[in-house]
Structures are given as structure tokens and as C-alpha cells.
Amino acid sequence: MKHAAPWVDEYARTASAMWSGDTVRIHNIRHFTYRTREDYTPAYFDGDYDLAQLRSVDLVVSRWAHDSIAHVFVSFGFDDGRYLSISIETRRRTGQRYSTWKGFFRNYDLTYVVADERDLIGVRTDVRRERVCLYRADVAQDTVRALFRDYMRRVNALNERPEYYHTLFNNCTTNILRHARTIAPHLRYSWKVLLSGHADEYSYRLGLLDRSCTFEELKRRCLIARPEHASIGEDYSLAIRNAR
């Protein structure tokens, strides 16, 4: 695998995690400010996160065309109001564009983008105008913390030993399921994992999301509604949760 490459701006840096007890310092947290798809200001920061303050994990499902196709990732919430999103993506080189078919071959590196919600979710809701659903996972805090640790382990592992993305076997949804299985080994693969747009329904059927209503009603409630001329401000994470 080639490591030295002229990466597109979004993937120029990779995150890394350094633990000290139950506190982790994460380097290269992405925080791009997008005005249009092509007009943006790159930015990164380092942040300290305490497992004792980790309270929640949300499943983010973003659709842009057919309902069966989506990009799926997670976002962790802390007591101090901060949210940290982690998206599993193709790390593309300059000139490369994503292709489902090319993803079957060794064309893209696999990367874990660790970012502020204003970056990873904001570009989808406000710039690309995708249909984004934000689901609070119905799991215990100990489970959330174990899941977060496992994500950080994988972030560091890919820095040490990069992997190729694969459209079916090493993508956003299959990796999310692998993480989930480290804390819930009874979870099994399903065709709904391959059709990423069904990941939220699959999670609902497994009892990982709110079951107080039907899935169709939950999906309707969790769709983020953003005004046409909304801005991605400091209160973005609170605003998208209030707008569901």
C-alpha cells in the first residue's frame, strides 16, 4: 500500500489518540467550515475528552438519492455539551472520485475521520442538503464508553497499519457492526448491513434504538429539519437536536 500521497484536503491529516487513564487527547480533529461543496476553510484542533463525561452515542444516517443507499456514522456526546463524530470513509488522493465499483478493488485507503459535528453533519444538512436522520442509541453508558475506546483503538491501528476500503467487506457500515460486536457479540451480519440505507431499521429491529414507537415514526421524528438559510454556528449540535 502506498502511504505517501497527495491527499485531497479533507483527508490531508489523520486523527490519533493518546490515553492517560480515562482521559484521551485526540490530535487532528477536523473542523472544516463549508460554504459550498468546493469552497471551504480547512481547520483542525486537538481536544481532551474524559470517559467519565461520555454520556451518549448517536447513529447518523445520511441519504442523498435512493433510500437504500446512505452514509452511516456515529457521534459521541459529552456532559459539557461537546459532540465528537467519527465517520469511516475512503481516503482519496488528489484527482480521485469515489466509485462504488472501484471500491471493490484496491483503489482507496480506509480512514476514520474524527471531527466536530459542524463539519461532518453540517456539510450534509446545510451544504449538500442530504436527508440526515440522527438517532440516539438506547444503550448503557458503560457500553457507550467501551464503544468509544474501541473506535479510538481502531483510529490508532490504521495509522500503524493502513487498510484498503472495500465496497462490501470493509466500509462504513461493516466497520460500525464490527465495533458493535466487540461489546455485543450476539449481533449478526445482515443483508441490511450491505444496503447501508437500512442500517437504522436494522438497529431498530435489534433493539438499539427507541422502540416506544414504530420505526417509520421514529425515522420521521429523527429527520433533521434545517431552514434553507440556516448557518452552522456554535450552537449547531443543540439546534439539530431541537429541530428533530
Helix H or strand E encompassing 242: helix 236-242
Longest dimension (CA), the chain: 50
User: How far apart (Å, rounded) are the C-alpha atoms in residues 20 and 77?
Assistant: 20
Q: Which three cell numbers stand for residue 178?
A: 464490527
pLDDT in tens, 102-116: 767 778 899 999 999
- Determine the structural domain holding residue 85 and report its residue range: 9-242
Would 167 be classed as within a structural domain?
yes
pLDDT on residue 100: 75
Counted domains in the chain: 1
pLDDT on residue 1: 45
Would 3 be classed as within a structural domain?
no
Would 2 be classed as within a structural domain?
no
Average pLDDT over residues 231-238: 94
Would 165 be classed as within a structural domain?
yes
Would 41 be classed as within a structural domain?
yes
Q: Which 8-state DSSP code applies to residue 168?
A: T
pTM value is: 0.92
Q: Which three cell numbers stand for residue 36?
A: 459550498
Would 170 be classed as within a structural domain?
yes
User: How far apart (Å, rounded) are the C-alpha atoms in residues 85 and 62?
Assistant: 13
Q: Where do the DSSP E strands lie in 117-191?
A: 131-136
Average pLDDT over residues 144-155: 96
Residue 231, CB-side half-sphere exposure with 13 Å CA sphere: 2
Would 20 be classed as within a structural domain?
yes
Would 172 be classed as within a structural domain?
yes
